[in-house]
Each structure stands twice: as C-alpha cells, then as structure tokens.
Structure 1
Amino acid sequence: MHRVAILLSLLVALGGCGFAPEVTDRNANVLVIGDSILAWNRGDGTSVADVIEKRIGAPVLDASVPGATMRASGVRAAVGLSIPGQIRAGDFGTIVLNGGANDLRNTCGCSGCDAVLDRLSLQDYPALIARLANARVVIVGYYGPVRGGGGSFSSCSDELAELGRRLSRLASSNPRVTFVPTREAIDGNPAFYDSDRVHPTPAGSEVIGGLVARALVANDGASR
C-alpha cells in the first residue's frame, strides 16, 4: 500500500508538468528521452520534441519525463524517471537526449559534486551511448538557471556548465555523438525562462529545438 501511495504522489506532483506522455510508435526515426527541459510545454504542442518534428518535417517520438534522472530504480523507474529506461523498441536512427541536472540536485545538492560529475560523464553517459550502438546520439546541453532567481536549480549553474564541458569532450571522441550547447543561446534572456526561472518558455523550447534540428540537418548533409 505504501508503494502505491508513493506512486500516486509522484503522478500528482508531476501531472502538471506534462508527465507520462502517450508514447506510440508512429514510424518515427527520432526518439527524444530525458527530463523536464525537453518535456516542458508538451501539453501546448511547443516542447523541444515538437519543435524538432516541425523543423525536420518527420515524426519524433517523445518519451522524456519531468524529474527523470540517469539512475532510477523501483517506483521511479516504473513511472519513466529512469532516462535509460525511456528507450523504446524501434528502428530509431537518432536519439536526442539530456540528463544529469536532477542527479546533481538530488544527490549532492549542486555543491561538492565531483563524484556525481565523474559518474555521469565516465559511467552513465558512456554506458547509455554504448547501449544505443546503432543510432546517432544527440546530447542536449543544459543552459544555466537564473542566478538568485529563487528557482530550484539556482545554485546549479557551475555544475551544469562543467557537465556540459565534459559531455562536449565525450561527444568529440565519438563520431556518432553530437553535443548541442544551449547555454549561450538561452542564458540571460528572460523571454526564454518560464515563471519558475528554470524551465523554458515556448520561445525557449523553440530555440533549443531549433539548435537540435540544425545539428540533425548538418549531420545528414555531412553523411551524404
């Protein structure tokens, strides 16, 4: 009974954030997995995945879930909060993903996070990329939360920047992995931050999705 109560509380807490997307196989070639940065604005049809789909003119399957982490088990994994667990069976040529912000906040509070950063960049991401051996992988970097803005990630800017640097290096060592930075495009523009000062507005999702779409088109051209 306690397990059921926990599950219900998670559903209630995340329901307003576009939780539990209806995931159906629409012969999509692109799968999006990750956390709330990618899932935000899904209810309005203006999420990052929605933007990618519009820009590339092909169906995109969105399995991202708010609150997701790179490592989750039990009830959290059962409701989609494990990012590797969001992988769907299918012939996906490209996987767009993010992850790590919730790990940093939940595990080390975005302070003294060297061990968590090492785990993410040296274990979790490499293991996930290896699992996606037949796909192109596009890692979406985090932008910085508004410093002093009172958001739940307001103290995480430096850690997210360091994670981005590590993931950029990881991508540069693997020809089928691309890192898409978003910090320069988003940081400092209030039009791109939702009222919680963390998540993207539809305009912010448009910017992020546009960056990813351009990377996909560029990679397609380079592979011809």
Structure 2
Amino acid sequence: MLLAASHGAAAQGAGGGEIRLLMLGDSITAGFGLARSEGPPARIQALLREKGRNVRVIDAGVSGDTTAGGRARLAWALADRPHAVIVALGGNDGLRGLTPAQMKANLEDILDRLGQRNIPVLLAGMVAPPNLGRDYGEEFSAVFETLARERPNVVFYPFLLDGVAGNPALNQADRIHPTAEGADLIARRMLPFIKTLLDRVAIPAAG
C-alpha cells in the first residue's frame, strides 16, 4: 500500500518505508574501475541516508551501454519495482558518434514508458566528445535540453559529469571514468536534484 505524500522528506522522517531509486546508466553508473561501494549509486545512497532518507539505490549500470541498450533492458530493470528512476545514458552514443536523432528517440521511449507507470524521473544530461565537432556537440546537448523542456515533470540535471569531466585528478587514466573522488563529487552535485525527485515519490508504508 502506498501513502500519498506531498512532503516526501517529512514522510520518510516519520517512519516511512524504504524508497527504491533505480539508476539506469552505463559504465559511469556501474562504477567502472571502482569498488562497488565507491560508485555513484553507492555514494548517492550513503549521502541520502546520512540525511535521514530511507533510500536504496539500485545500480542498473551496464558498461558500454548506449541509449538503445538502456531502452532494450528497461523492462528488466523495472523488475525491481523502483519508486523513482535516474536516467543517466548517452555517453556511449557520443563516443560512438551515433546520431542525436537516434539518441533522442531512445530517450523519448524510456521517458514515455516511465511516465506511463507514473514513475518520477531525473534525466541526467551528457555532452559529446569535442572531436566530433561543434555542430554535432550542439545537436547532442540539445537533445537533453529539449526532452527536459517538453517534459516539465522530469527533473533535469544538465550534465552528469559536471565538475569531473576534464579534471585529471578526478578521472582514471583513460580520462573517461571517474576515480572514487570523482564519483563522490558526482553524487554530491546531483544530491539537491535527487532530493527534488524523491519529494515527488509516494512513500511506501513502513513494515
């Protein structure tokens, strides 16, 4: 049984049940090269629990996954019956030079299917590698901005790697995957947006 909650944080602090937050992503979500406890999902969960939020973050990150891969496995990922979802895909579309139109169609389908289930969503944006050119980069970034504008109920975090991308001290030797410190910074910067997302969740009854 779900209890309607207009103030998610208050309900959680008053003995609400556990919230399941799914993070659907690629190797960044999966914490490539890191211990499981160091990846973004684990760090987000730890930070939320420090704030008194009874949240379990489900790691649905698959290394190498594109938006098409995330779209194909969405039904499987939803088997855990999450109360909210973070969609953090697109990086591999850019690395492979896939068309922004393809990426947009895949993300639209993911967001639409989540919307049909009334699952609150946070969409994390991504930027394309600079070697693909300015026009491609602008079209790529515009996909996320357009989706967020067309879906005002979606919480939008403009850039998943904000503050981390391009910083050698926060990335592994491949310059793509964050270090443990980088993953922690991702979690901390996303936290205010995730709190907004969680405040839209109907709190499960405790017990």
TM-score > 0.5, shorter chain as reference:
yes
Q: State the identity as a percent.
A: 24
**Are 2:38 and 1:61 aligned?**
no
1:88 deviates by 2.4
- Cα deviation digits, residues 92-125 of structure 1 (max 9, x gap): 221112222223333xxx3xx5xx101212x111
Aligned counterparts, 1:38-117, within 5 A: 38-41=29-32, 42-57=34-49, 58-72=55-69, 82=72, 84=74, 87-106=77-96, 110=97, 116-117=99-100
Name the residue aligned to 2:126.
142
Name the residue aligned to 2:190.
212
1:81 deviates by 9.5
Q: Which of 19, 26, 37 in structure 2 is aligned with 1:35? A: 26
Aligned counterparts, 1:5-44, within 5 A: 28-41=19-32, 42-44=34-36
- Cα deviation digits, residues 62-100 of structure 1 (max 9, x gap): 11110112224xxxxxxx894535522243221112222
Instruction: Provide closer, same or farther for how the CA distance between residues 220 and 61 of structure 1 changes in structure 2, counting only shifts above 3 A.
Output: closer
Kindly report the root-mean-square deviation, in angstroms, between the aligned alpha carbons of the 2 structures: 3.0
- Cα deviation digits, residues 8-43 of structure 1 (max 9, x gap): xxxxxxxxxxxxxxxxxxx65200111011112552
Instruction: Provide closer, same or farther for how the CA distance between residues 70 and 56 of structure 1 changes in structure 2, counting only shifts above 3 A.
Output: same
Normalized per residue, the structure richer in strand is 2
Unpaired runs of 5+ in structure 2?
1-17, 50-54, 203-207
* Separation in 2, partners of 1:161, 1:46: 32
1:184 deviates by 4.5
* Separation in 2, partners of 1:28, 1:65: 22
**Are 2:102 and 1:125 aligned?**
no
1:192 deviates by 1.6
Name the residue aligned to 1:6.
none
* Separation in 1, partners of 2:86, 2:36: 20
Q: Report if the CA contact (8 A) 2:84-2:198 is conserved.
A: no
Q: Report if the CA contact (8 A) 1:32-1:60 is conserved.
A: yes
Quick one: higher RCO (CA 8 Å, sep 6+), 1 or 2? 2
Q: Report if the CA contact (8 A) 1:30-1:59 is conserved.
A: yes
Q: Report if the CA contact (8 A) 2:170-2:182 is conserved.
A: yes
* Separation in 2, partners of 1:178, 1:163: 19
The letter for the 1-side match of 2:38 is: T
SS at match of 1:29: strand
Q: Report if the CA contact (8 A) 1:140-1:212 is conserved.
A: no
Q: Report if the CA contact (8 A) 2:67-2:89 is conserved.
A: yes
Q: Report if the CA contact (8 A) 1:68-1:83 is conserved.
A: no
Q: Report if the CA contact (8 A) 1:101-1:160 is conserved.
A: no
SS at match of 1:167: helix
TM-score by length of 1: 0.66
Q: Report if the CA contact (8 A) 2:21-2:86 is conserved.
A: yes
The letter for the 1-side match of 2:56 is: P
* Separation in 1, partners of 2:19, 2:198: 16
1:48 deviates by 0.9
TM-score by length of 2: 0.70
**Aligned residue pair count:** 175
- Cα deviation digits, residues 174-214 of structure 1 (max 9, x gap): 13212213354224422221111111111111121122221
